[in-house]
Amino acid sequence: MATPETLMTRRVRDNPVALARLTGAFYLYIIVAGIFAEAFVRGTLVNAGDAAATAASITGAQSLWRIGLTAELFMLAADIFVALLLYELLKPVSRRLALLGAGFHLVSTAIAGFKSVLLLVPLMLLGGGDYLQAFGQQQIEAATLFAIKLHGQTYDISLFAFGISCLFKGYLIYRSGFLPRILGALMVLAGLCYVANSVLNILSPAFASGLFPWIMLPCLVGEAGLTFWLLIAGVNKETWMARDEVQQA
């Protein structure tokens, strides 16, 4: 009896181009939803230096905040699919390295799940309730901004794991032959930038803030480049199948 893993492997071998395009579609959602949640939700509602203003903004636009949180939840699901689908696409190059890349990617997704929970805290604190009567308004506002800032710090940690996964994936793409080498090099650069940004935010936040957002531009270029290549071109099917046959031998 065929197992789900066997059936998936057979489908990948039959049409790796379609799988690559599906991967690109999930990746595109992650990029678009991430920009929306960061720039158009938190970017418009959060004032990093004013807890009272932040609380007032979220209270006045709770629907927008909830939409942003919902977008992040779907990002988590899409991220899991991308991790597993890229593993299937890249394992003909090296099954072990592809597994390491997927493993670090899933660790990043798990940490990102925790950071998403933190975005519920402002809704709970600002939504009222008898259990909140023990806290003053300033305490509630301060706790709201603290949760949002902790969300950002947790995000940096998740990107550390994701950056390591990008290093593995970039190397595999570079060595694959069925995807352009330039995409592999860009993904390695993206991984280095993610790791550097996360480490610097812990060791020297002031220095890291001076590099932001420029240090993240290679990440956007690398991931967007890979996304659109997967969506439009997929992979070189003949080369992919030849490498897969060697891996299976």
Would you state the pLDDT for residue 94?
Answer: 94
Would you state the pLDDT for residue 249?
Answer: 62
Would you state the pLDDT for residue 212?
Answer: 87
pTM of this prediction?
0.90
Q: What values do phi and psi take at 220, rounded to 5?
A: -65, -45
Would you state the pLDDT for residue 246?
Answer: 75
Would you state the pLDDT for residue 128?
Answer: 74
- Which token pair is 73? 């939840």
Would you state the pLDDT for residue 71?
Answer: 95
Query: Could you report the average pLDDT of every consecutive run of 10 residues in the chain (249 residues)?
Result: 52 80 97 94 92 94 94 96 96 95 97 93 85 84 94 94 97 95 97 96 91 92 96 92 79
d(CA 155, CA 94): 29
Would you state the pLDDT for residue 6?
Answer: 52
